Structure 1
Amino acid sequence: MPRNEGLIDRALRIVLGLVLISLVFVGPQSVWGWVGVVPLVTGLVGFCPLYAMFGLRTCPVRN
């Protein structure tokens, strides 16, 4: 599977995912924190299906 996320994009997604998931255990303890699994997984994998659908890419093109 080709990657379509750059390094900064991936790092931000991982941090955002972890912050949202932490809301399940601390803070308001809302179930909505599990939404953080989506950015966490896409950040770890390096591929975002929505980016692919819209033809977006933050990863530099390899020659």
Structure 2
Amino acid sequence: MAVAPITGMLRRGLILDLGIGLGLGFALGNAFWYGYHVPRTNKRDNFYKKLEEERAAKLG
């Protein structure tokens, strides 16, 4: 084999690093999605809903 297999401490460190990276990525992704994106989208949708209701009220 040209490259030796990953074993021992290197393997455990690699698994730990991947686990931490994926866990933090998932956590920060959820924080962005539910902490910024969803509230901002709801605010935008409510604005346009109110605007449409006002327009409909003017037309009769």
Write 1 or 2 for the structure with the bigger share of helix: 2
Query: Which category describes the TM-score, using the shorter chain as reference length?
Result: 0.3 to 0.5
Query: TM-score, normalization: structure 1?
Result: 0.35
- TM-score normalised over the length of structure 2: 0.36
Q: Which structure would you say has the larger RCO, counting Cα contacts within 8 Å and 6 or more residues apart?
A: 1
Larger Rg: 2
